[in-house]
Amino acid sequence: MSDPISRRAFLARSALIGCSAAASPLWTPVSFAAAPWDTRLVVIILRGGMDALDVVQPYGDPDYQGLRTKLAGGPASGASDLDGFFALHPALSPLMPLWRKGELGFVHAVSTPYRNKRSHFDGQDLLEAGTDTLAVGGDGWLNRLLQQIPGVEARTAYAIGHDDMKLLSGAAPVANWSPDAELIMSPQAVRLTELVMQEDPMFHAALNEALLLSEPADIDAAAMVMAQDDGGSAMMQMTMPRPVKGKSEIKIAQFAAEQLRGDARVASFSINGWDTHNRQEANIKAALTRLSDTLLTLQEGLGDPIWQNTAIMAMTEFGRTARENGTGGTDHGTGGAMLLAGGAIRGGRVYGDWPGLSEAALFDRRDLMPTGDVRDVAAWIMHSATGLDQNRFEQVVFPGLSMSRKPGFLL
């Protein structure tokens, strides 16, 4: 087998075939995977620290209004009542039909083991590592799950988008895709490239992945470039990848749904925009609208009966302060919330042990107190979806986790 390819060698070989490596789908991740179970799993990372108290508003808590004079919500402010205690932010009102059908739920007052420093980078690293403490390198928890499943292929799991999806990093094969790049090749260029790379297993595998992930895109014949070699003969070459117009989260959801209708069983991507230090009213509305559009696009793209066999988990690195600040926002906090969606979810309820919002009940007298672990929620959902032994989740997927009494998140 050949030696590992350096970045310089990669670029040199790419130049021979007219391909821009920097714009290749291989360089920006969307994660997917295929696996020997039927339930589709979608994990969405909400980067920036989503404010749980603004998304799933505890208007029934007697201390809520006193903490949020400007940001306080509830049915009187246009939020959708969920259960007489919690209300859903107005920007997520398009999801209320899912709530009423039992295909949308939430888990409140949850967090990773991360405490006190409240750094986005460390918080996200710990969320995706799925461990008690930060360590250099290591696999992500979703990849460790795939490592426990025989027969996993690159088509099984996809990491989608621009962000580095560390929760899918590891030894299990995962395909990566970005909505902003399409690899365009003529049949002649494909054959030429295969001949150039056939003696190098690593590079040949990378080409196959790029071609696989480019299959859903329409090929525009006008985008092909006709070049003349020194002998005067015409040869088709790859063009530069084309930008994909439109909202990236919609493109991502459409691509994810297309793959999950086929062999893929796992997809993961992120949605940014949750760091609402100021002007939270406007900023969180925009982020929640993107999240709502993403979920509805997934539902439409999957269709029945695939949607009925889908479990979606949306999670964030930490919550935000219980009190609003002086600029109409909130600062980095601790306890947050998870969103669950899909036909496989037992929704129509807000899970979790509510700690209350009195000053004595707050973490460090400033944040929503975590009463649950996001890893526990993810472990139970994946346990129900895959049938993998509970010990594997506690010892390998989330090492050191002691799973709680079975909560029944899935039907």
**pLDDT given at position 133:** 85
Are 157 and 289 part of one and the same domain? yes
Does the pLDDT of residue 12 top 90, yes or no?
no
What's the whole-model pTM score?
A: 0.78
The CATH number linked to 73 is: 3.40.720
Of the residues 242, 259, 287, the one at which a domain ends: 242
Are 54 and 151 part of one and the same domain? yes
Domain presence at residue 6: no
Does the pLDDT of residue 275 top 70, yes or no?
yes
Among 78-87, 112-121, 275-284, the minimum mean pLDDT is found in 112-121
Does the pLDDT of residue 111 top 90, yes or no?
yes
Does the pLDDT of residue 389 top 80, yes or no?
yes
Does the pLDDT of residue 225 top 80, yes or no?
no
- How large is the average pLDDT for residues 169-195? 66
Are 249 and 126 part of one and the same domain? yes
| Residue 179 structure tokens | 């909505």
Model confidence band, residue 215 (pLDDT cutoffs 50, 70, 90): very low
Does the pLDDT of residue 306 top 90, yes or no?
yes
Are 216 and 86 part of one and the same domain? no
Are 157 and 304 part of one and the same domain? yes
Are 81 and 104 part of one and the same domain? yes
Report the percent of the chain where pLDDT is more than 70: 74
Of the residues 221, 242, 263, the one at which a domain ends: 242
Domain presence at residue 18: no
Domain presence at residue 342: yes
Are 237 and 275 part of one and the same domain? no
Number of domains in the chain: 2
Are 275 and 160 part of one and the same domain? yes
Does the pLDDT of residue 240 top 50, yes or no?
no
Does the pLDDT of residue 62 top 90, yes or no?
yes
Are 73 and 207 part of one and the same domain? no
Of the residues 242, 262, 281, the one at which a domain ends: 242
Are 350 and 370 part of one and the same domain? yes
Does the pLDDT of residue 49 top 50, yes or no?
yes
**pLDDT given at position 397:** 96
Whole-number Å distance between alpha carbons of 405 and 390: 12
Instruction: Count how many Cα atoms sit within 13 Å of the Cα of residue 109 in the half-sphere of its side chain.
Output: 18
Domain presence at residue 9: no
**pLDDT given at position 7:** 37
Radius of gyration in angstroms for the set of CA atoms belonging to the chain, rounded to a whole number: 23
Does the pLDDT of residue 37 top 50, yes or no?
yes
- CA 61 to chain CA mean position, Å: 31
Model confidence band, residue 183 (pLDDT cutoffs 50, 70, 90): very low
Does the pLDDT of residue 87 top 70, yes or no?
yes
Model confidence band, residue 189 (pLDDT cutoffs 50, 70, 90): low
Domain presence at residue 160: yes
Are 248 and 377 part of one and the same domain? yes
Domain presence at residue 411: no
**pLDDT given at position 329:** 97
| Averaged pLDDT score across all residues of the chain | 81
Domain presence at residue 50: yes
Contact 128, 45 (CB under 8 A): yes
- How large is the average pLDDT for residues 133-148? 86
Say which residue, 411 or 373, is predicted with more confidence.
373
Does the pLDDT of residue 34 top 50, yes or no?
yes
**pLDDT given at position 31:** 52
**pLDDT given at position 361:** 98
Q: Which domain holds residue 235?
A: 187-242
Q: What is the 3-state secondary structure (H, E, C) of the chain?
A: CCCCCCHHHHHHHHHHCCCCHHHCHHHCCEEEEECCCCCEEEEEEECCCCCHHHHEECCCCCCHHHHCCCCCCCHHHCCEECCCCCEECHHHHHHHHHHHCCCEEEEEEEECCCCCCCCHHHHHHHHHHCCCCCCCCCCCHHHHHHHCCCCCEEEEEEEECCCCCHHHCCCCCCEEECCCCCCCCCHHHHHHHHHHHCCCHHHHHHHHHHHHHHCCCCCCHHHCEEEECCCCCEEEECCCCCCCCCCHHHHHHHHHHHHHCCCECEEEEEECCCCCCCCHHHHHHHHHHHHHHHHHHHHHHHCCCCHHHEEEEEEECCCEECCCCCCCCCCECCCEEEEEECCCECCCCEECCCCCCCHHHCECCCECCCCEEHHHHHHHHHHHHHCCCHHHHHHHHCCCCCCCCCCCCEC
- How large is the average pLDDT for residues 204-223? 42
Model confidence band, residue 284 (pLDDT cutoffs 50, 70, 90): very high
Domain presence at residue 41: yes
Say which residue, 310 or 8, is predicted with more confidence.
310
**pLDDT given at position 188:** 55
**pLDDT given at position 411:** 79
Are 255 and 199 part of one and the same domain? no
- How large is the average pLDDT for residues 344-373? 98
